[in-house]
Amino acid sequence: MSSVPFTVPEAALDERDLPALRAGDHDAFARLVDRHGPRLLAVVRRLLRDEHEAHDALQDAFTSAHRALPSFEGSSRLGTWLHRIAINAALMRLRARRRRPEVAIDAMLPTFDSTGHRVVLREAWSESADTRLERAETRALVRRLIDRLPEDHRTVLLLRDIEELETRETAELMGCTGGAVKVRLHRARQALRQLLEEELPR
């Protein structure tokens, strides 16, 4: 009878290595990088949209983590702590970029007629947008459309809907209020749906 191999949860491995990590053990840190590196690279890649910058941001994040590990109190999971550091490293690079002129979010939002009814540019889909979003090809299109959003709105959408950060934490990372996060997120979702309606075949 074959047995299913037992896999130790990531958090348990982090906890096991934590004393060595706090003591500056290089082997323990290498294991930490191996465990979390691929997932965190995907996070910063989504935010930065540049492979070279993503790798640099991840290196910055692990450098910051290495310096801070001796004082890590363990009030959150190590993986969660690293996730926040990686996002912060990516956001710092976004802020340092020279921004290219962007299309205003208003140009991407749905429009309404004088009676308050939404102007529909095409005939209704034969199936719901939610159904289409389940499809792999549609998900790829959504990723491309997210990249068309203005930087602040795109970042809020990624942090809240993809990385699943809370409003408060998103606001702290972006240096704005919770109210601003909510407004940007609402407008980003509206714009994304409008772009999706314009792109998807009926």
Structure pTM? 0.75
Q: Walk me through the domains of the chain, giving residue ranges and CATH numbers.
A: 10-96 (1.10.1740.10), 105-199 (1.10.10.10)
In three-state form (DSSP H/G/I as H, E/B as E, the rest C), the secondary structure along 83-97 is HHHHHHHHHHHHHHC
CB 183 within 8 A of CB 189: no
pLDDT digits (tens, 9 = 90+) for 18-68: 999 999 999 999 999 999 999 999 999 999 999 999 999 999 999 999 999
CB 165 within 8 A of CB 154: no
Residue 10 has pLDDT above 50, yes or no: yes
Predicted local distance difference test score (pLDDT) of residue 164 = 92
More confident residue, 134 or 13: 13
Across residues 105-119, what is the average pLDDT? 64
